[in-house]
Amino acid sequence: MNNDFPEVNIDNIKGKIGRPLKYIFFLVIALIVLIIMNPFVIVGAGERGVVLNFGAVQQIVLEEGIHFRVPIMQRVIKVDVRIHKSQTDAESVSKDLQDTKSTIAVNYHILPDKANQVFQSIGTEYKERIIDPAVQEVVKAITAKYTAVELITQREKIREEIKELLKNRLLAYNIVVDDFSIVNFKFSQQFEQAIESKQTAEQLAFKAQRDLERIKIEAEQKIASAKAEAESLRLQKENVTPQLIRLRQIEASIKAIEKWDGHLPKINSGAIPFIDIKSLDKD
């Protein structure tokens, strides 16, 4: 019996199917190895990448984005270069030996292009190693130049001096001071009580001075008023002449005549108007 179907070679079929499977297998293995080796690194926003070749810090600093690294040989350390806030408590002594306690707030950031040097010389704990000691040292140096009263009355000037000195001190470590503020500034309890007592005494003295000035002004006003009244009486006395007295008498007599109705009162309960006719005739 003749067979019209071609003879199938099983070995050829196996060979054709096996090649793609081998390619897929090697591709999967390569992908797994690539994932394990992780040759790519992503530097996020506000970060810089410090490249280490077998642990040695390199001059190159990676900026934000995706970068290729040589597996096994290279490692990338991410350093945050955004602005951070550090708050430090500092104790110092004023020029007149008054103890002071202050809380200092510093806003700072790492120079982005110097991130490798900061990591190499300081590491990532630069707040504890550099910033806090620098703040305490600078505060002590500036505070010692002023008395306790000057520290209170010239606070803004002292803040600027501390800020400038701190900026110069930290810039040597590639750390930039963005802002500086004195959150709290305290003296000993005895000194604060002395200041409060002094202010109270000054306020009382000022009030007493004001009262004294008021009393003095009132006295001067009374003296001036008395002098004016005495002067007025003197002038009136000088102007009173016999002719003026006679004129006033005549005026009074005329007014009495105008008011009299021509009848004598039946009950004499008061003085009867007396008109001096002779005095009128003398004129």
212 vs 17, more confident: 212
Would you kindly state where each structural domain of the chain is located, as residue ranges?
10-80, 84-187, 211-259+274-283
Percentage with pLDDT > 90 across the chain: 32
pLDDT value for 169: 93
pLDDT value for 1: 47
33 vs 102, more confident: 102
CA distance 282 to 277: 9
Has residue 10 got a pLDDT over 90? no
Judged by DSSP in three states, 234 sits in helix
CA distance 51 to 73: 10
| pTM of the complete model | 0.57
73 vs 190, more confident: 73
Q: Which of 63, 72, 73, 170 is nearest to 115 (CA)?
A: 63
259 vs 98, more confident: 98
Which segment of 8-22, 64-78, 115-129 scores lowest on mean pLDDT?
A: 8-22
Has residue 84 got a pLDDT over 90? yes
pLDDT value for 5: 46
Q: What is the fold of 84-187? A: Tetrahydropterin Synthase; Chain A (3.30.479)
CA dihedral 107, 177, 164, 104 (to 10 degrees): 30
Has residue 51 got a pLDDT over 90? yes
Has residue 55 got a pLDDT over 90? no
CA dihedral 211, 217, 221, 223 (to 10 degrees): 100
* Average pLDDT over every residue of 66-79: 89
Q: Mind listing the pLDDT tens digit for each residue in 29-45?
A: 766 766 666 788 999 99
Q: Mind listing the pLDDT tens digit for each residue in 121-167?
A: 998 888 889 999 999 999 999 999 998 888 888 888 999 999 999 99
